[in-house]
Amino acid sequence: MKSLFLAALASVASAHYVFPAVIHNGVTTPDWTNVRQWTTYYTYGPVTDVTSLDIRCNVGGTTTKIGTNTTTVNAGDTLGFTVEPTSSGLYHPGPLIVYMAKAPSGTDVATWDGSGSVWFKIFEAGPTSFNASGPVWPYQTGGVTGVDQVFFTLPKALPTADYLLRIEHIAVHNAATVNGAQFYLSCAQLNVQNGGSGKPTPTVSFPGAYTPTDPGILYNLYSPWPQTTYVVPGPSVWTG
Ligand SMILES: *[C@@H]1O[C@H](CO)[C@@H](O)[C@H](O)[C@H]1NC(C)=O
Ligand SMILES: *[C@@H]1O[C@H](CO)[C@@H](O)[C@H](O)[C@H]1NC(C)=O
Ligand SMILES: [Cu+2]
């Protein structure tokens, strides 16, 4: 009985996922060197309260200074994050969203907390289609597995500056009750070079961007069956 219980606990823990590393120009950084290592990251667990500070850069991700390295990139580059554990990957149903926030000039992005209405969305991926099972999510590869790497492109018009980069996957399999949606997220620091002269808008704050009852956050994946709609939460995407 006891070992069964422990086995069940272990499978729950390993069932979730984290984004621990950045992929750029074919190079994957070590885990948690270029991504802020949040407190209790080893649980692979989600944030569920969108009104808490944890929704910004995960638990302790805005206050814990662990010397995270900043990744130098060019505007317009393709960037990626790894998903761990790789055996199950990004397996929950839900959208993938990427936000950025420019560090105020004179501020060291490595110690900046990302406060204020400074975050703009650069990428979102909701369902690619709907079939007789409901939404088809682009990062699920079938069965109970998902991809173990995700990629997106930085806008070419992004001004040269230091930024926080926030990746988020919202799992909606339990989202029919308030605070049931699961937010898997990490923040990395970027030094963006060769940028453009765009003005990223609209901007939002974290917490603040979401409410617990937003469509896409309070969402019943199973009713009506099959589901035929899904609204990705947050502001519109700034493409530059
Ligand atoms: C940042 O990079 C330096 C040099 O590559 C490395 O020695 C250091 O351990 C890195 N920082 C972290 C938090 O891993
Ligand atoms: C819906 O599409 C997904 C992804 O291609 C597939 O795994 C699933 O079997 C499909 N369901 C039905 C009922 O066609
Ligand atoms: Cu999970």
Average of per-residue pLDDT across 140-149: 81
Q: Which residues surround ligand 1 with Cβ inside 6 Å?
A: 33, 66-69
Query: Could you give the domains of the chain?
Result: 31-240 (2.70.50.70)
Cβ atoms 192, 163 nearer than 8 A:
yes
Q: Which of 90, 94, 91 is nearest to 172 (CA)?
A: 94
Pocket test for ligand 1, best of 22, 29, 33 (most atoms within 8 A of CB): 33
Ligand nearest to the CA of 43: 3
Instruction: Find the 98 Cα to ligand 3 centroid distance in Å.
Output: 20
Q: Which atom of ligand 1 is nearest to the CA of 69?
A: 1
Q: For 200-239, how does the pLDDT look when each residue is reduced to its tens digit (9 = 90+)?
A: 999 999 999 999 999 999 999 999 999 999 999 999 999 9
Over range 2-25, report the average pLDDT. Answer: 66
- pLDDT tens across 92-111, in order? 999 999 999 999 999 999 99
* Ligand 1 atom closest to 30 (CA): 14
Buried b (16+ CB within 10 A) or exposed e, 141-174: eeeeebbbbbebebbebbbebbbbbbbbbbbbee
**One-letter amino acid identity for 20?**
P
User: Which of 149, 151, 165 shows the shortest CA–CA distance to 200?
Assistant: 165
